[in-house]
Structure 1
Amino acid sequence: MIEGLGNRISQLRKNHHLSQGELAGALGVTSALISSWERGERIPVVPKLLKLCDIFNVSTDYLLGRKSSNHISLEGLSPNDAKAIATIIKSLREKNIKN
């Protein structure tokens, strides 16, 4: 099995406020299969793995544990929009440090 894959799927699902059933519906699989992925009993086939990456906006390297951070692409945004996103991220980090 792939170390930590189930935990990353579970955490991303929760971060996106999705139930196992909702994620299963988006992927065209059963919630039991999502549960088995999250418990590390099974791993997603490549097409489902790629769909997970699309849903959660993460790279396959992140999902598979080859890269430790979750990268958010700012591709296609105007410079002003990219700057606004960076400001929001900075503000959220500062808020979380205080808590």
Structure 2
Amino acid sequence: MVSERIKNLRMSNDMTQTDLAKKLNITRSSVNAWEMGISTPSTTYIIALAQLFHVSTDYLLGLSDNVTLDISHLNEREIQLVYELIQYFRTKK
């Protein structure tokens, strides 16, 4: 589960394994091992990954499927547009 989440988050952020490794100051082979399920990131890296991708550690660990979106940098109008989009997609189901 952790391996899939890391890979999906990395790819959805248009990052290569090398890009992610550089951001975390580790080797690309470490990232590859995480994504292959050969090893698991330490607590320190779980926290760093959560902060980097703006998700909870629970999400990374597979304890929650809730994905969060940081909108603190948006102005009031932009926040309203985000809420309207969410409502639109909820009614499309």
Q: Which residue of 2 aligns with 1:42?
A: 39
2:48 corresponds to which of 31, 40, 51: 51
**How many matched pairs?**
91
SS in 1 for 2:37: coil
Q: Which residue of 2 aligns with 1:85?
A: 82
The alignment's TM-score, normalised by the length of structure 1, stands at 0.79
Q: How many angstroms does 1:18 deviate by?
A: 0.1
Q: How many angstroms does 1:88 deviate by?
A: 4.7
1:23 corresponds to 2:20? yes
The code of the aligned residue for 2:12 comes to: N
Percent identity reads 27
The alignment's TM-score, normalised by the length of structure 2, stands at 0.83
1:6 corresponds to which of 3, 6, 21: 3
Note the residue ranges of structure 2 that are not aligned, 5 or more in a row.
Answer: none
Query: What's the Cα RMSD here?
Result: 2.1
Note the residue ranges of structure 1 that are not aligned, 5 or more in a row.
Answer: none
